[in-house]
Amino acid sequence: MMRKLALLVFALFLTACGEDPNAPYLSFAGGGFVFNYRNAEAFYGFVARPLKTLPEGGVIEAQFEVPGSPDPATVTEKVVKGQVQYSFKSPLLTGIQAKRPYKAVMRLIDAQGKEIARYEQNFHTDVDQSTLPNQPLVVGPGYQQNPDLKPGTLN
């Protein structure tokens, strides 16, 4: 009797180790805006973390809302078996406004091109793009001071 009970408990334990079919495939595991004052550039991005096995041959697509444009910027990454995270970043942006939400959409697409999961997240910044200089403060691989800048000016 004890042996049967032990086998039953072991079988239940093994079935509990499987993936929950209702669990999300991916999660946003961080992200936000980056203002690079040294290079006078701004963008935003996020990290996607798989929560269960992703479809072989699939892709993860990230769509970023672009200030002043009706169309999002799209970036894709191929699904790689065993990869623990995927990083996505928008192209360089202009016109970023502080405290305004910017939507990022993450889509999981299978090998046949069918969307199997979709997640959305809003990102915002407390800093307005007007804080960036008009041109890079430094140039070249050695970060030499930009010779086009007048001393004492940033904009």
Asked whether residue 150 is domain-assigned, the answer is: no
Q: At 143, is the pLDDT very low, low, confident or very high (cuts 50, 70, 90)?
A: confident
Q: For the domain that residue 28 is a member of, what is the CATH number? A: 2.60.40.10
Token pair 């065993």: residue: 82
Extract the tokens encoding 25: 């495939």
Asked whether residue 45 is domain-assigned, the answer is: yes
Asked whether residue 69 is domain-assigned, the answer is: yes
Asked whether residue 125 is domain-assigned, the answer is: yes
The boundaries of the domain holding residue 106 are 23-137
pLDDT attached to residue 77: 97
Q: Could you tell me the CA-to-CA distances from 143 to 35, 38, 135, 139, 140 in Å, in that order?
A: 17, 9, 14, 5, 5
Model confidence pLDDT, tens digit, residues 65-89 = 999 999 999 999 999 999 999 999 9
Tally of domains within the chain = 1
Q: Where are the alpha helices (DSSP H) in the chain?
A: 2-16
Model confidence pLDDT, tens digit, residues 16-41 = 455 677 789 999 999 999 999 899 99
